[in-house]
Amino acid sequence: MSSTSEKKVVHIAMFSGGAGSAYVANHMVQTYGKENCILFFTNTLWEDEDNYRFMDEVANHIGIEITERIDGRTPEEVFHDERFLGNARLAKCSEELKVRQTIIFLEEELRNQQGLEPILYFGIGPHETHRADNLKEFYSHFPLEPIETRFPLIDLMRADLDAKGIIQEEWGIKLPRMYTIAEEMADQGNENAKVVLNSGIKGFSHANCAGRCVRGGFQHYALLYAIWPERYKQQEDMEENFRASFKKNVSILKKNAGPYTLKEFREVMEREGFEQFLFKEDADIPCVCSFS
């Protein structure tokens, strides 16, 4: 087996449909050339449909196709297979659907089969350096040999860079609707969306899993309930089905260090209103899915 130093380098943008990773991917291709770059996406099968539109338009702008890998299961199927309901502390969905697929691609396909040495690029900004540190640590202990990670938004670019503005105004690409869904729905006359917008919230903090991310907290799920009650109900039903199937008193949310189901939370919001919870920034811990 050839050593790392003898392998040809391939530059890989870890792409999940976020503005930061889109900007970084473009920077990477401009720096190293299309022939030396890969736009890599792992699909959880839970993404909002507008994410795919955004990713396709970004790929067309950059000039390289998306390299996609799919486990084939949804997060819900992973929870049942692992007999563990994802929550803010631990999300096995991202471990199986994102991390595992990434490891297979990097180690088996690129290193072993093609003899290439990957360098990974992430769209993490200066305000989230702790996430960059976590990724550096993870890939420094990668199976067999470490993998280099790079964070251009932190290391190379100014702190006030407006990646979202550049993508919209200079590239002419509309951002995924999840970032501004309250704004859009308020314009269409949706009363809940108007309340959300008046609270100073335009949309979700990240565009992953169509708002059904199990690492979201009370604020996240209050927003989901207000904007997409049908998606909230899907998540509630998933939780109830898991609890019944495995006879476990578990939940996505926690309250007073114990389980607090989405059904209980919905009933409180129905009685008292969802507005008060829009300011409760408790969990909403970004998982691997939003590292890109």
State residue 281's pLDDT score. Answer: 60
Domain boundaries, the chain: 4-169, 177-287
State residue 284's pLDDT score. Answer: 47
Lowest pLDDT segment from 34-48, 51-65, 153-167? 153-167
In single-letter form, the type of residue at position 153 comes to L
What's the pLDDT band for 291 if we cut at 50, 70, 90? very low
State residue 1's pLDDT score. Answer: 44
Kindly give, in sequence order, each residue whose CB lies less than 8 Å from that of residue 272, ignoring residues fewer than 6 positions away.
Answer: none
The answer, yes or no, to whether residue 36 has pLDDT greater than 60, is yes
State residue 288's pLDDT score. Answer: 52
The answer, yes or no, to whether residue 4 has pLDDT greater than 70, is no
Query: Which DSSP letter does residue 188 get?
Result: T
Q: What is the mean pLDDT of the chain?
A: 91
The answer, yes or no, to whether residue 283 has pLDDT greater than 60, is no
State residue 262's pLDDT score. Answer: 98
What's the pLDDT band for 2 if we cut at 50, 70, 90? very low
Report how far Cα 154 is from the mean position of its chain's Cα atoms: 19
In single-letter form, the type of residue at position 270 comes to E
Lowest pLDDT segment from 25-34, 50-59, 139-148, 264-273? 139-148
User: pLDDT (tens digit, 9 = 90+) per residue, 152-187?
Assistant: 999 888 777 899 999 999 999 999 999 999 999 999
State residue 127's pLDDT score. Answer: 82
Q: Give me the DSSP letters along 118-168.
A: EEEE----GGGHHHHHHHHHHHHT-SSS--EEE-HHHHTS-TT--HHHHHH
State residue 286's pLDDT score. Answer: 52
User: pLDDT (tens digit, 9 = 90+) per residue, 121-152?
Assistant: 999 988 888 889 989 999 998 767 899 999 99
User: pLDDT (tens digit, 9 = 90+) per residue, 196-215?
Assistant: 999 999 999 888 899 999 99
Percent of residues in the chain assigned helix, strand, coil, to nearest 5? 55, 10, 35
Residue pair 7/115 in contact (Cβ under 8 Å)? The answer is yes
The answer, yes or no, to whether residue 287 has pLDDT greater than 90, is no
Q: Give me the DSSP letters along 213-234.
A: -TT--HHHHHHHHHH-HHHHHH
Dist. CA 9–CA 120, nearest whole Å: 11
Q: Does the reported pTM lie above 0.85?
A: yes
As a whole number, mean pLDDT of residues 225-244 equals 98
* Location of structure tokens 């040999």: 145
Report how far Cα 163 is from the mean position of its chain's Cα atoms: 17
State residue 292's pLDDT score. Answer: 38
Report how far Cα 228 is from the mean position of its chain's Cα atoms: 18
The answer, yes or no, to whether residue 112 has pLDDT greater than 50, is yes
Confirm or reject CATH 3.40.50.620 for domain 4-169, answering yes or no.
yes
